[in-house]
Structure formats: C-alpha cells, structure tokens
Chain A
C-alpha cells in the first residue's frame, strides 16, 4: 500500500487551469522526482498535497487514511502536516530565529517537546547537514546553500514520514547546489521517503527511484527512473529530455 496517494487533483487560479486531474503515488522509502517544464503545475501539485494551496477537487490517501482535498478539515490538515516535512525553493527560514531555533521551533511550539530534548534533536539534525557549527547564526548571515541545509534539518527534526522538496536548488548559485544535493542523496540512502520537484536531471537520474513527468497540468509519463531516462515512452517526454540534453 502506498504511503501517499493522490487521485484526480484539479486546481485553477481564476481561469487558468493549473492541474487537470493528476494522479500520483509514493511508496515508503521511495524517492519520486517530479519533472517538467516551467508552468507545468509541478509546484502547485506539491503545494496542494501539503495544503498550502486548496485544491478544487481530488482525493488524498495518507497512510491508508483517505481525505477529500476540497473539504479536508483544519484538524486533519494539522495532523497530516505533523507527519510531513516541506523544503521550499526560497528556504523560508524564520528570519527572527537562530539556526538552532529554526529547527527547534516546530518541536517546542507545535509538539510541546521540552526545550533540552528539542535542542538535542536539533543539533543532531544540524550535524547531519553539516551546519551544527552555525547554531547561533541568523539566516541572513548564511549563504543560500547553508540556509537550504538548515531548512532540510528543520524538516527532518520532526521525524516526518515523507519530505516534500519544492525545487530545493533552483534559487541557488550553481556552485552551491552540490552541497544541498549531497544532503538529499544522503537522506535517500538512509531510506527517507521523498517527493521532489526538481530541474536537476542528474539528481533525478541517480537518486530518484521513480520519475513523474508533467506537462500542462497533467502527468505525461510515470516510470522507474532508469527506464524513464533510457527509454522514454511518450513523444513529449523525449522532446523534453532532448531539450534538456542539448542545453
């Protein structure tokens, strides 16, 4: 049984139909990469799955429990979000909190964990992403890559069952993407379940187990990543991959 399954998500912004009935499923331990050209609806899909956007219709099954995306209650949203982590393109670290506080905030405030225990976990997570020596820094004192690694530590700290990544390296200078991708690679190797919207073809090919290719608000092709890159079935997928390859 998949850990996460979404079925027939529709979402419009005004007259613009962004998602036109998208299906997706993620098994425990899988790393699923969502690829596709800009404007294909990848980010909106991810945001709808974590309720940052309200889908117009669609079903979501999380850990076997079904929800109607258009009618899900605040309590259910809060409950599902406690089992998930989210990493944003623009990091979104809390600007008024130190690195350590960024990671402990969700534990102390949302989960009522004692401060000492939360800080212990936070330091462990920051060590994992190589940021433990910056605990008392504020976000604006860090580079983009460092901020994103702290954001990953923040997402990890709440022991989520799945982490969503929304183009985690797109805002970074090219020489800083490596440090973030390395951390994600390490998480994948440890068996973390991940759903990753990305433009990093290398990451999708080498790290992800499944690839979902989206275009124009629809899923064009879903395949194990080796097969997806070696042997794309759909014409549109081939066109996309050749455009990327020729860059």
Chain B
C-alpha cells in the first residue's frame, strides 16, 4: 500500500513524531508569551499615545525619548540587555518574564505610533462638536475619538500582533523553551533540518492564519457597529 510505504518513510516519521513536540510548546509558551506581551504593549502604547495626543508636558517628551530609543535598537539586543546584562546590576529575572517585559516594551513603542496616528486622523471637528454639546475632554475621547481611532488602528495593530507571534522565536536566544527552541532540539537529533524547520514554518503559518481570520471578523464587527 502506498500509504503504508509513506508512513515508513523516515522523514514522514520524524514529521509526525515531532509535530506534538513543536506544537505543544507553541500552545504552552509561544501563545501565552504573545498574548501577555501584546496586552501589556497595548496598555503602554495607549498611554504613550495619549500623553502625546493630549500634549501633556514632560510626559510627552519622555514618550518621544522612549519611542526613539526602543525603535532605534534591535529587539534581540534589548532581550540580551535585560536577560544577560541586568544580572550584573543585581536584577535577575527568569527567562519568560524577561521575554514578556522586552516584547511589551518593544512592541509598545511601535503600537504607540500606530495609535497616535489613528488619534490624529480623527478630524478636530469631532472634538469640537463634543465640546459644543457640553462634553468634557475625557468624555469626548472615550465616546467619540477613541472608538473612531480604534477602527483606524485595528488593521495596523493586527499587523503588529501577527508580527509579534513570529518575533517570539527570538526568545529562544534567552532560553525560553518556545516553539523555535523545541524545533532546534528536534532538528539536532534527527538531522532532518529542511522538513523540520518547514514544519515549524507551517505551524507559525497556522497560528497567523487564525489571527488573520480573527482580524477579519473584528473588522466586520466594528463596521457593523458604527466604527467606520
């Protein structure tokens, strides 16, 4: 039987055996790492974008410095500074929290610019109209400006999230046992580099396909609820 022959093929056997070994760290580490980091990144980004949008003195300048430094240095270097560098100052963190911190800070800077651009794309007349019906700055922000900005920011923020899923593979460099590290292990004892790394690529693609679908549903929802 052709099917049985296929199953006896060594490459196919490796692929089947390694699939759970790669997928499980993906579910147990890559996804939580992405979700946690992105959630914190959004909080940082919203705050950093808002202090700029509201032109809060001092904080606004600090926001610019933060974005300048973070965007101007490699993510891998930031990971290494926190994980390998900070212990010399007595700050010792586990690998996973280190990764969450580094990814949050890094992605926060990029998302802050996305959110700032989205806020600035809302016409100033929307704010003025809110004032003229008696609303306060914060009321207009919450009810009118932020929802409109959310619609604009949604596709680029989805981009960032999808990008982050793949960037988490860098965490392997600081001993986080995520999907990429798991694959490296499989590859190093099977010597099946091409099929195994392709398998990893397909699993990342699966994750991102789900997120692409979620993005599409999200946009549909927003469009149906007046966020357009």
Q: Using a CB–CB distance below 8 Å, which chain A residues touch chain B?
A: 50-52, 78, 81-82, 84-86, 88, 90, 92-98, 105-106, 109-111, 138, 140, 151, 154-155, 157-158
Cα(A88)–Cα(B133), bound, Å: 12
State whether A110 and B148 are in contact (beta carbons under 8 Å apart), knowing that A94-B129, A96-B226 are contacts in the complex. Answer: no
| Least distance between B212 CB and chain A CB atoms (Å) | 25
Across-interface contacts of A82 in B (CB, < 8 A): 134
Q: A93, A109, A151: which contacts B135 (Cβ < 8 A)? A: A109
Q: Are the C-beta atoms of B226 and A97 separated by less than 8 Å?
A: yes
With beta carbons under 8 angstroms apart, the residue of A92, A111, A157 that contacts B129 is: A92
Residue of B128, B134, B147, B228 touching A78 (CB-CB under 8 A): B134
Please report which residues of chain B, range 126-161, place their CB below 8 angstroms from some CB of chain A when the two chains form the complex: 126, 128-136, 139, 143-144, 147-148, 151
- Chain A residues with Cβ under 8 A from B132's Cβ? 50, 52, 81, 84-86, 155
Identify B143's interface contact among A88, A92, A105, A151, CB under 8 A. Answer: A105
Q: How many A-B residue pairs have CB under 8 A?
A: 75
Instruction: Assess whether B20 is interfacial by the CB under 8 Å rule.
Output: no
Query: Do B128 and A92 touch across chains, with their CB atoms under 8 A apart?
Result: yes
Main secondary structure of the interface of B (DSSP, over half): helix
Contact among A84, A88, A105, A110 for B128, CB-based, below 8 A: A88
Contact B125 A111 (CB under 8 A): no
Interface contact B227-A81, CB-CB below 8 Å: no
Q: Which of B94-152 contact A (CB under 8 A)?
A: 123, 125-126, 128-136, 139, 143-144, 147-148, 151
Residues of the A chain whose Cβ atoms lie less than 8 Å from the Cβ of B135: 105-106, 109-110
Given the known A-B contacts A92-B128, A96-B144, A96-B147, are A110 and B139 also in contact in the complex, defined by CB atoms under 8 Å?
yes
Are B134 and A95 closer than 8 Å at their CB atoms?
no
B159-170 vs A, CB cutoff 8 Å, 1 = contact: the mask equals 000000000000
How far, in angstroms, from A110 to B138 measured CA to CA in the complex?
11
Q: Which of A92, A109, A138 is close to B126, meaning CB atoms less than 8 Å apart? A: A92
Contact A88–B129 (Cβ < 8 Å): yes
